[in-house]
Structure formats: structure tokens, C-alpha cells
Amino acid sequence: MKLIRQNIKRIATVVSIVLLSLIVYGAYSISTQGQRWFASSSNKYMRKSKINVTAGNILDRNNILLAATNIDRKRVYSSDPELRKAMVHTVGDDANNTAYGAEAYMANYLYGFDESYPERLVQALKGSKRRGKDIKLSLNSSISKKAYSLFPKDKSGAIVIMNYKTGEILTLQSHPSFDPMNLTQSDKDNPLKPFWNRTTMWVSAPGSVFKIITLASALKNIPDAQSRMFECDGALELTHTTITDASNAIHNAINLKKALAVSCNITFAQVALEVGDTKLQKTASDFGFGDHFLFSDLIVEDSAYPLNNRSEKELAWTGTGQSSLKTTPLHMAMVASAIANKGIMMEPKILLEVSNEFGKSSYFFKPKIYKKAISKQDAETISLYMTEAVRNGTASSAGVSGIKIAGKTGSSQIDGQANANAWFIGYIDDDRYPFAICVAIENAGSGGSVAAPIAGKLFKFMTGR
């Protein structure tokens, strides 16, 4: 009998531990991924409940109306069709054609699901239809429209602009786009997939913009990195591959500052081989490669550093930004932001404020540090090198007279593409305009000739030049 009681106690203890673990895990999952579950298309409760609620408004950072519910209880968007198309992937649409826009991802606010039972009781006693809360986003309408107007109309890609000190997103733009109030059959049939949000979901090798991370690894792991002279004689012969530079350029003796400015593949391949795969991977990890992104306001595809088939060939190409590297435009904007912000990477955010119909706020934006990517000293060195790339290098077309701009171009070669993907990342090195940018254009060619000029025009627009 005594043995039976002991066994019962053991079983009860085990069951209690399992139940407690499930409760803790459930609480953790709701706190970290609750928005994802709530916005899921499989959430039948939310779809049914929305019928009995008038959705709140969506506004930009300057209180420009982006979405509202009209007197016929239909969801309507900005009266400006260009603005609608420039913002639809972030604002979302009523039919949820673009997944995880604010319409779906922040539906708990817009439809009042975050309200307490006393609040709901008060509304019920009033006898009026329940109204959700208004949300203010960090988006800037004028910057978004300008960015939309500059993107090549026949191409796909993305533009991301964020405040590198706070993480606030000013535009999160995917191309091609669509008009949520004038959806056409051509939109549905478009092979470039206008409903797909490329800023957060499209992953590609970043090309030479990744050389910023290779440079960071050199500064950390090679004692004489800044003074070292590398040799570029036009070709680096390795087993099963030969690395060359654009137009078969020969740079001869070259330091890292100049190598970044002219985007010398041979130098950065040599750096990767000297640093080694383990240390280069660690530096990439410090910048977020390999992380499982769980941001409060956004769904973002994870970036990946290649882990398999790590031959000399693959390591060398990784150092130049190729191999099997995968990243999103938003993440590369975060990388640029980390350099601009003295090594501190901020969490990207789009929600500034939540308020009820009477103007009482229940949420205010708070900046959140995502991680420390690099030391302040190394960030300042990389910033100096990126400034040189704009002044006297491949990123010169991103420059703005009288404003200090730092940047890096990239052209990533992907199997099966007719042209390279054109990349630019950079920022305005000025506390008055703490803005970082990523421009990525698929099948477009050189980052210096295609992506950097768009960034330069946006820098001019944001600084009033």
C-alpha cells in the first residue's frame, strides 16, 4: 500500500510539472507570438467577431488617414491612389491579399479585441455598435510616395527606410504593388506577385553589401587589418573557382578602405579565407544572421549564413556576399542602421500609438534595442569606409552635396537570372536626419548604377536638398 501511495505521488508530481510547463510555454508563446496567431487566416473567431465591430482608423506618423470605415461599413483607404499603392504592403487591405499588413497583424487593436470586459460592457450599455481603436503608424506618407515614384515600374524589389536611432520604419515598400480599392485581374495574374511583401519575405544573396560584415570580421579578427595591404592582380585562383572583379579590374596593392570603396571581390575573398568560416559566421551572427526574428510589429523571414558544403570556394564567395547567403531587404537596412548607430541594432517597429475614439491612448511607442552587433570603434571605422565609398567609390551616385552620406553597393548573382539583383544600403550620417535605407531591385544589374541613384534621390528628398 505504501508503495502504491509513493507511485501515485510520483505520477501526480510528474503530471503537475507537465501541466505547469504547458502553462508557462503557453504564456510565453502568447507574449512572443500572440500577434501572429491572432492575425492568422485560420483564426475563425476573429473573422466572425469582426462582423460586429466597426474597425478603427489607421493613420501615418503625421496623422494622415490611411484606412477607415465609411458609413456603409466598408473599409476604405487613402483618396490618393499613389499613396494607397505605396503603403498597401504595410497598411494591408481588407481582403488580406497581402499577409501581415497592419489590417491583419494589428486587428486586435483595430477591432477592439484588446479591450477589457468593463470597457466592452460600457459600450454594450450605450447600445451602439462596438468600435475598435485607432492606430498610428511610423510610416511617412510623403517619403513613401516619393520612394514609390522612383522605383522602376517594370521591376520587382523593395525599399526600406528606417530611423537608425529608434527603429521606426518610415517606409516599408514592396514592388510591384497594387491598389486595394481597385484590384484588377492583371494584378492577380501578374507573375511578379504584387501581393507578396518583398521587404520582409523575399530572401536573396545580398552581394557586395555583405562586405560590410566581412569587413567587421576583419577588424575584429585581423590585428593589422586597417594597415594591411592586400594584393589584387585581377584573379584569385582557388580550387574549382576563380574570383575576379567587375570588368576584370586590377587594383594591385590595396587597403581595406579602398577595397570597400571600389568593392574589390578579390580582397574580401582573401579576408574571408584568412578570418576563417567559424569567425566569419560568428560576425554574421552578431548582425542577426541565423536569428529567429520575433519582432513585435512585423513578420520577417529569417536570414541565413550557409552552414553546409563549406569549401574554400564557398567561403571565399561568402566573403564577397555570394555563396548561399540569404537575407531580406529589411534585415540589410538593420545592418546599415547598426553601423550608423555606433554598433547598436534597434528592433524595427511600425506602431507608434493606439488610442480609442475619444483620443485616450493605451499604447505608446518605445524604442527597443535588438542587439549589439559590433563595437563602437569598429562601427566608426566602417562608417568612415562607407563614406569613402560614396565620395570616391561605387556608391558615388548616392551622394548629396553638403550632407555626409555613407553607403555600399551590391550586385548579387543568382542562378537562372538574366541580370544581377541590384542592392544599396546606407544612411545619412547626421543627427538631424537619422535615416538608413536599403534599396533592392531584382534582375536590374549593377547596384551602383541602378539602386544607389534611387537612394541618392531619396536622401535629397529627406534632407530637403
Q: What CATH number should be reported for the domain holding residue 233?
A: 3.40.710.10
The overall pTM is greater than 0.85: yes
Q: Cβ distance 437 to 426 under 8 Å?
A: yes
Omega before residue 329 within 30° of 0, cis: no
Top pLDDT among 113 and 111 is at 111
Question: Residue 113's pLDDT is what?
Answer: 78
450-463 pLDDT, tens digit each: 999 999 999 999 99
Q: Considering the domain boundaries, does residue 52 fall inside one? A: no
Please check whether residue 438 lies inside any domain of the structure: yes
* Rounded Cα–Cα distance for residues 356 and 114 (Å): 11
Average pLDDT over residues 200-205: 96
**Does a structural domain hold residue 407?**
yes
Lowest mean per-residue pLDDT among 39-43, 209-213, 388-392? 39-43
Q: Is the pLDDT of residue 212 over 50?
A: yes
Q: Which domain holds residue 325?
A: 207-350+367-463
- What is the model's pLDDT at position 30? 43
Share of residues in the chain with pLDDT > 70 (%):
85
User: Is pLDDT above 50 for 106?
Assistant: yes
Residue 450 included in any domain = yes
Mean pLDDT to the nearest integer, 372-400: 98
pLDDT at residue 1 is higher than 80: no
CA nearest to 170, candidates 18, 284, 60, 332 = 60
Whether the predicted pLDDT of 31 surpasses 80: no
Specify which of 47-61, 200-214, 405-419 reaches the highest per-range mean pLDDT: 200-214
Q: Is 278 a domain residue? A: yes
pLDDT of residue 15: 61
In a domain, 68, yes or no: no
In this prediction, residues 142-160 reach a mean pLDDT of 97
pLDDT surpassing 70 at residue 346: yes
Q: What angle do CA 437, 442, 443 make, to 5 degrees?
A: 140
Take residue 331 and report the three cell numbers written for it. 534585415
Confidence of residue 35 (pLDDT cuts 50, 70, 90): low
Interatomic CA distance for residues 290 and 300, integer angstroms: 13
Average pLDDT over residues 284-310: 95
Closest listed residue to residue 432, CA positions, set 165, 161, 152: 165
| Residue 173 maps to a domain | no
**Is the pLDDT assigned to residue 410 strictly greater than 80?**
yes
| Res 37: pLDDT | 46
Contacts of residue 158, defined as CB under 8 A and 6 or more positions apart, other chains included, come to 173, 174, 175, 198, 199, 202, 329, 330, 438, 439, 440
- Per the structure, the count of domains in the chain is 1
Report the distance separating Cα 332 and Cα 373, nearest Å: 13
Assess if residue 386 is contained within a domain: yes
Span 154-201, pLDDT tens digits: 999 999 999 999 999 999 999 999 999 999 999 999 999 999 999 999
Compute the mean pLDDT over every residue in the chain, rounded to the nearest whole number.
Answer: 89
Min mean pLDDT across 49-63, 149-163, 416-430, 439-453 is at 49-63
